[in-house]
Structure 1
Amino acid sequence: MNKKLVTLIIVILISFCFLSFVVADNVTHGDNSTTDHDKTIDTKPVNTNKTTDKNKTDDKSHNYILAQGSGSDIKFSDGFRGFMLDYSKPPASSGDEFKSVSASKASNSNTLKQAIMGCYKYGLSGQIGSIMAEVIQSGSAPSKVSGASSASSSNGVVKINNHTEAVFSFEVLESVSGNVSDYFAYKVSLRTINSDNTNQTNLTNITNTTNITGNFTNLTELFDNETNATFWEELFDFLLFMADMLYDAWEHIIDTLIDDILIFISAVEELIKLYEEIVAEIQAMMDAIQKLLDMLDSLWKELDAFLKLVTIMLNAIQQLFNWIESLFNYIYGLISAIISLIQQLLGLLYSIINFILGLINQIIAFIMDLINQIMSLIQAIMDFLKTLGNVLVSVIESAVIIIGAFVIITIGAFIYNRIR
């Protein structure tokens, strides 16, 4: 009742704004006062399948439905939201062509419909993507979304609360190319369940506003035609009726808003949990970084000691190089001295050799002179002997003849004596 009183106060302010327009409308259309006010206002629900039928007609003319995203959970150009049916094929990409067929084309279509309607019935519409992926891969709906209302081949209705129903349309979108997975798609719209059982159905807030405006005009005419009551009583009744109507018209919106706020709060809680997990991960990462820094610090200390050791080794190597350089200088000086000594010895040897060669030359010259003198002596002797030899030859020849003759005679005498 308190809500109605608050709504009444707001409506009073709004009513005075519209009252002048209503009076002007009645004056202008005074000839309509005989209208049958008992005539029921036509508030037939809009056919939510009209778009689907149109898309099917377009499909026959090869105007295919286009994917408006990529992945396993995407929107399509006909306003439907679809989920991958075949995970063995790649998901659709933006711009891929599909054609609409009956929802029964899916092997487990009833389970899929139950899962989608259950998500809305139990306030899990924010998790519908992960739930549908689980249902499609496992083939069965989880217990948290089971028990939703049954659906026909292409439609389904779920009561969200006492004033709102969700009307579902289902279809299967087949890939034209066949290279990507087919999708099970749905579209949902809300309609109001009126508390006065007048069967006046509204699918959108715009339709609700239109019906309220039409009822407002009819009630104004009714207010003008009722002359037995006082103005203030009729105005009060009218305002009460308007308050009830506005309360009934906006109650489902408020309930939906509250549900959305609760979903948002749940999402915020999940975000906070995610933030806490991220903070925990960051803290763990900071701890790991701290451990890494400690390891780097110890490593730096070891590296510093190693660098000091390398410095000592370099100094030792430098001293060794200096000692080797001194040794090389000493050896170079020694070799230079040895070379100088060898050069001096070679010079001395050369002098000795020259002296010996000169001595030998002198000895040879002396010997040659001696030989020449001996040869001259021999030549003189030979000349003397040659001169003396001619006489001796004659004597020797004569002696030889005498000796030969003597021998012959002796032999002849011997032979003669033998013969005798």
Structure 2
Amino acid sequence: MLRDHFHLPRNADGEPLIYLCGNSLGLQPKAAQQQLTEDLQSWQQRGVEGWWEGPDGGWLGYHRRLQDGLAAIVGAQPDEVVATNALTVNLHLLMVSFFRPAGRRCKVIMESGAFPSDQHAVRAQLHFHGLDPDEHLIEVSPREGESTIATADIVAAIEEAGDTLALVLWTGVQYYTGQYFALGEIAAAGRAVGARVGFDLAHAVGNVPLQLHNWGCDFAVWCNYKYLNGGPGAPGGLFVHARHAEDEQLPRFAGWWGHRESDRFAMKPDFRPEHGAAGWQVSTVPVLGLGPLLAGLPLFERAGGVEVLRAQSIVLTSALYEQVSQLPDVRILTSADPAQRGAQLSVYIPGERPDLERQLSRAGLVCDYRQDNLDGSGGGVLRLAPAPLYNTADEVAAVATLLERVL
């Protein structure tokens, strides 16, 4: 654990709060300020020449400084990943390339209750192609009385769709329930029926082990501000499998930063994509937006990698599960099986509690609460996400007592 490398939110007395909201916004690495200062000083001292002069050869190759760290976290080759744009922008850009409905093969399959931005993007893409979401969008739901989706049901839905399926778009970790999906099995099922496969890893990256290259998915997208601690609104990341690295005929919405660097500044109208995932960049690399991510990524290597952090995460969530499950009148939506959850427990609390999040914060716990009304009582779901980079067993041990007092 590298807790001392992060700034911890504190109360009015200067005592650190228990911060279990890394699933929404990770904490600030202390090195972020130094990295931003370095980039600001380069801008101050060099102006435009900062693009090709200064630390690590200037800003022109800034995105390449992030590739090794991101590749290690998502289980990819360095040229299969790039930090660029925002998550939903990347999702649209990659669906332009990999959702190519034709003939019978024109349907998309995804989870019901996926993050709204994914639902918006998929429905917009279907409309863009003149397709009706009511007819061409397949959504897989949990079985009656359950809150998570069985892998067998996902695979069965993919197999049933068969040659009508153009794209499998699935979530790595479900934002609401915390379910960690069997992505390797989902990718294999999708490819077996001839569909393209893409993943939204917003709540999975930096949280659970990933093997994107070996799983063989076509693409993936994620945000860098949750478990990767890249700062509010940090640019996102994307993965494109190596088998597509040299395919210049693959349709895409091009932009000049995706043009190959060797002749980008020749300013020619013809687009020749950069090798690999970098060819899906659109606009100029956002240097100041990526600085905190560049500062934070080395902490994963120092911690021993995602596998080591995952082991600690299981310890934390298992202890939290045991303690919270003892509280009266609550129901944990997240699986009791550590292999089927990430660093998150979603706890359903009945009754109208519009001020619960604020009450918990005043009591010393930062987390998030969303009204849901699952049982008609007006209740909601509390998401508790201990991040192994900075949360401790002692903090987890204090959560149940604090919850019981506030509730």
TM range, smaller chain: under 0.3
Bigger relative contact order, structure 1 or 2 (CA pairs below 8 A, ≥6 apart): 2
Using the size of structure 2 for normalisation, the TM-score is 0.23
Higher helix share: 1
Higher radius of gyration, 1 or 2: 1
Using the size of structure 1 for normalisation, the TM-score is 0.23
